[in-house]
Structure 1
Amino acid sequence: MNKIAFKYFFLLICVITGLYSLSCNKETNLGSGPYFDAPVTAVQFFGKKPNPVDGKAGDKIAFQVTGLDKLTDYKFYINQVEAEIVSVTDSLVTVIIPNGTSSGPASVLTSDGQYFYGPVLKIDGKVSADNTFKVGSGTNGAIYDVYYNGAGNGLFVLAGGFTDFNSKSSTQDINGLAKISSDGTYVSYDAGKGAYGGIVSSILATGGKYYIGGIISTYGVHTVDGLTRINDDCSLDTTTVDLVNGDEELHPENSVDTVPTWNAYMSGNVVRVFEDADHNLISIGNMTQFYSYYYEGSQKGNFYTDRTAMYNFIKTDENGVLDSSFNFDKTLGYGVRSLNGYISDGIQLPSGKIIFVGSFTKFNGISAPKIGALTDDGGLDASFAGAIGSGADGDIYRITYNETTGKILITGDFTHFDGHVANGVAMLNTDGSYDASFSIKAMTGGTANFAGQLNNGMILISGSFSTYDNVVRQGFMILNADGSLAEGYNNTGAFTGQINGLVEISSHSVVIYGLITLFDNVKVGNIVKIAFD
């Protein structure tokens, strides 16, 4: 190595040595263990339950929390409602439960805008989930309709788009239907595969049978369509028919077949099924065709079919024979295509009148702004059409009726009904006129998706909203008949989902069902029994 090269090599070694020496002398704290220590937050809840674990407005509650004694400017909340602070130590804060709050987490808001969340406090009130209703995990899909045998054994028959109830599908096929007792426990039945691959949206009990409607194409091993009839044990109501057999000697089994007794099929979605005073069935929905099979002269697996175009409203007798005097054009030989939109729901009044709602604006060319009523022959009721005036300015998704109060409630994507501010919920009289005694208040964070009235006049509402009339209500609320929050009845916490209907068991008990995954901060399986104190 020449002298110049050696000189530069020596200088390089000195530089490296110096850097190493500096790095060794500089103190660097990387934390303990293999990972850095987490930064210490200004406020820390211990995660323990408050003391006491529940209370009502005005009660004192203590939370174990550190850091508050070092802060000069902060606020304490219980489920987003500010609470008065009574005392603070280095590990404890005592507050007073504020008026208007509901079950939910405690939280601290510091002056720099940071939130620190603590344990959930349960607010005592007049409403709670009835834990004696033993539905367990409930259904794994939405419940759209329920039959309740209140006058008999208290049995519930659930109809919907589910394939399990409380993990019972491991031992029995459950498809669209489930029976439960009055205490919520599962009742086994033998329906084979049931409404396999379908959705049952309506159930009607009459004459010891059930009529089920929806988007269904198979029940057990049999082909059905839109609407069919089942027995009390949920097995398909079947009969044996004689058929033409070209090879009876070799295949005698082809001389007969077991088929659904209800020989009526409807292409499309049957939304609701009703019964009139003469035991005829009226199906409403988004159907496009009615057909039945002509077994006499048919061969097994190749039945003659009688098809008729029918739309939205179909009337049959109790045996499934089409009534060609109802919503039918005898000149053309098929049903009247009445609506320019879809039907989403419907109700039947004690008088037999059927009211339907949806996205339509016309009925056979006549104004029907999202709501209408049928005449006895399947036409548009002119008196009802006149009473609704300009109707709803947006789609109506749900309609409910309470026979005791005589009031109708509608919910949907509308802001006005007949010129009145409605904000997605409106009360109507049975003649279709707007009832101004009920006034829905402002909601933030979302909208309502269901409203149903109890016999005492109170109204249950679900939705995606976060506040109502400037009060925190997370998806569920109970209103007075005038639309104000019912005092003492809004203590429950967060709700997630949509109620599709309710069954009032008594003045102290209501079952709600739908697509419900959270009630009062607790996971549920689409059906909940609510207790009222």
Structure 2
Amino acid sequence: MKRVFPIILQLGIAVGLLTVTGCKTDIGLGEDPYAGGKAPLGVTFENLNRPLPSARPNDVVLLSVRGLKDKEARLEVFVNEEVTQVVAVSDSTLEIRLPQQVSSGAVKVKIDEQIFFGPKVTVEGKASFDADYGIKNGFTGSVMEILNVSGNTWVVGNFTDFEYEAAPKVFRNGIHIISSTGNSVTDTTINKIRWGAVGGLSSITRLPDGRFVVGGTMVSYDKRQVFGLTRLLYRGDLDTVKVELINTTPEKPQNALDTLPAFNANLYGPVVKVFATPDTGVIAVGNFSMHSFMNYEYSSRETRTYTFTRVNNLVKIRANGRVDSSFSYQNLGSNGFINDAIQLNDGRIVVIGSFTTFNGTSANRIVAFNTDGSISTAFAANIGQGANDEIVSMTYNKTLNKIALAGRFTSFNGQADKYGVVILNGDGSVDNFKLGDVHGKIPNFAYIMNNGKVLVTGDFVKYNGVHRSQLLILEADGNALQEYNNIGAFAGWINTVVETTSSMGYPALLIGGSISMADGRKVGNIFKLEIRN
């Protein structure tokens, strides 16, 4: 078959040939942009996806790696960035001895200025990730508070899914109930949550009669309009009541009634914490400034009338939703942000944040309120000058009556050695705990456990000169024992901790927050950490 090229194409080829053959000028090549670079060293780690056997400090670990034998004199090895002794090198293996102080982490080999990363070394110790706990994917957003109720766990936060279970008729919005094994509770005799909260929840408390109050930034619950907080029945469904309103359509008598939240109260601004009162009311703390209730007498289905009352940061609300005006009378509020609050065993409320005054009284980032809402002068006397900078989080151990503070402060009550973390007794007096050297970084969470040890997290990468996870288990004096600080990388921010037991029956912490990694494993904002005694 004869091939026919278009005339234009033939002319183009001819011109091209003339151009190529007619050009006599030599064009030199430019300089090699990679000239002078380091020659590849041929170092290869093998079986990177195969987990190594766990080891203890001072153990010898055998690694499969090629290309090191002729470079032994220039070889430096690290485990989790800690210098590690080289024991032996062959054509295909490397033996290293783990340091006495080391946390789980990757092997790093350095030859001159070239670096090669190897497998993770799991360091044995008394702290471990509970891999047998049922939660695998977790929540899609922050976990803000965890509450244990009759063997189950109630979780509130800013999530919209759990374990990817959400579907057109399955909702996981802001509140969920999970079992002790980490699975969703779907038994309707226990869980009747329907659509949940829109807008997010930050706190949950259980009332003396078994009902719950939740608070946060929500704008609806179970498709009913609520602002800031509301009350739930004992299975998590909204506590509602039928109310007679103005009927603007008399021809439709049914419009004279409407189903509304039984807890007739709204708060405008973020609710940080809610606390139950003995009379089934609630104390709310947060960055709100206004309370309202719906005036049924002047409301219809179409138009609702509200009565507003100014409240600042702290309010006690009765069971009927009205403000208890006898609590914290003439409350001026704080001159800064509220970050957290706890309720002591004696009923007093402690509040922390960035403020320096509360209700017109000097209060450097921390203040306590008596059960009548007045500022506790006894607590104020014990904390003295308070913190010299923001306190970002606070936790309370009811068993030990101990408060843990964490934040940006570098001194507390004038004591310069109280950097970043302070433990207080229930009366506000300062405990002897002293945080070690975090190399100028900022702790953001602390919790004192029933056994006296202190959990601390922050943006630090070293503690007292040793590379550690950003999650520490410290002794009562601030010392970091190797056996409790063996876990790998942690990434995130803790909001809540509950003491529980692990899948093996050992003491453990159920930890929630904005967390993406724990012990080098991907997590969905919640995980369980076993801590053996």
- Alignment partner for residue 197 of structure 2, among 192, 195, 198? 195
- Residues 340 and 394, structure 2, Cα contact 8 Å, conserved in 1: yes
Which amino acid in the other structure matches residue 289 of structure 1?
Answer: M
SS at match of 2:121: strand
- Residues 337 and 364, structure 1, Cα contact 8 Å, conserved in 2: yes
Matched, 1:108 2:105: no
Matched, 1:512 2:507: no
- Alignment partner for residue 399 of structure 1, among 364, 381, 394? 394
CA distance in structure 2 between the partners assigned to 1:210 and 1:368 by the alignment: 31
- Residues 335 and 357, structure 2, Cα contact 8 Å, conserved in 1: yes
Shift of 1:319: 2.6
SS at match of 1:64: strand
Matched, 1:327 2:328: yes
- Residues 135 and 182, structure 2, Cα contact 8 Å, conserved in 1: yes
Compared CA separation, residues 321 and 40, structure 1 to 2 (3 A)? same
Corresponding residue of 1:488: 483
Alpha-carbon RMSD: 2.3
TM-score (norm: length of structure 2): 0.88
Matched, 1:162 2:163: no
Cα deviation per residue 1:60-83 (whole Å; 9 max; x = unaligned)?
211111222112222111111122
- Residues 279 and 319, structure 2, Cα contact 8 Å, conserved in 1: no
CA distance in structure 2 between the partners assigned to 1:247 and 1:490 by the alignment: 69
Matched, 1:173 2:171: yes
Corresponding residue of 2:55: 55
Corresponding residue of 1:429: 425
CA distance in structure 1 between the partners assigned to 2:84 and 2:371 by the alignment: 59
Corresponding residue of 2:493: 498
Corresponding residue of 1:234: 236
- Residues 147 and 203, structure 1, Cα contact 8 Å, conserved in 2: yes
Matched, 1:274 2:275: yes
Compared CA separation, residues 89 and 244, structure 1 to 2 (3 A)? same
Within a 5 Å distance, the mapping from 1:255-334 to structure 2 comes to 255-329=256-330
Corresponding residue of 2:463: 468
Higher strand share: 1
CA distance in structure 1 between the partners assigned to 2:22 and 2:133 by the alignment: 82
Which amino acid in the other structure matches residue 125 of structure 2?
Answer: G
Instruction: Specify every segment of 5 or more residues in structure 2 that has no aligned partner in the other structure, as ranges.
Output: 1-19, 33-37
Show structure 1 runs of 4+ deviating over 4 A. Answer: 12-15, 49-52
Shift of 1:248: 2.2
Shift of 1:93: 0.7
CA distance in structure 1 between the partners assigned to 2:482 and 2:81 by the alignment: 18
- Residues 493 and 515, structure 2, Cα contact 8 Å, conserved in 1: yes
Shift of 1:191: 3.2
Corresponding residue of 1:83: 84
Corresponding residue of 2:6: none
- Alignment partner for residue 219 of structure 1, among 218, 221, 232? 221
**How many pairs align?**
494
Which amino acid in the other structure matches residue 418 of structure 2?
Answer: A
- Alignment partner for residue 373 of structure 2, among 365, 370, 378? 378
CA distance in structure 2 between the partners assigned to 1:439 and 1:446 by the alignment: 15
Corresponding residue of 2:348: 353
- Residues 155 and 182, structure 1, Cα contact 8 Å, conserved in 2: yes
Within a 5 Å distance, the mapping from 1:5-84 to structure 2 comes to 16=24, 40-48=40-48, 52-71=52-71, 72-84=73-85
CA distance in structure 1 between the partners assigned to 2:141 and 2:520 by the alignment: 19
Within a 5 Å distance, the mapping from 1:331-346 to structure 2 comes to 336-346=331-341
Q: Percent identity?
A: 36
Corresponding residue of 1:333: none
Shift of 1:439: 0.4
CA distance in structure 2 between the partners assigned to 1:447 and 1:326 by the alignment: 36
Corresponding residue of 1:522: 521
CA distance in structure 2 between the partners assigned to 1:488 and 1:163 by the alignment: 37
SS at match of 1:386: helix
Corresponding residue of 2:474: 479
- Residues 135 and 186, structure 1, Cα contact 8 Å, conserved in 2: no
Which amino acid in the other structure matches residue 489 of structure 1?
Answer: Y
Instruction: Specify every segment of 5 or more residues in structure 1 that has no aligned partner in the other structure, as ranges.
Output: 1-11, 24-28, 30-37, 330-335
Shift of 1:14: 10
SS at match of 2:122: strand
CA distance in structure 2 between the partners assigned to 1:496 and 1:184 by the alignment: 21
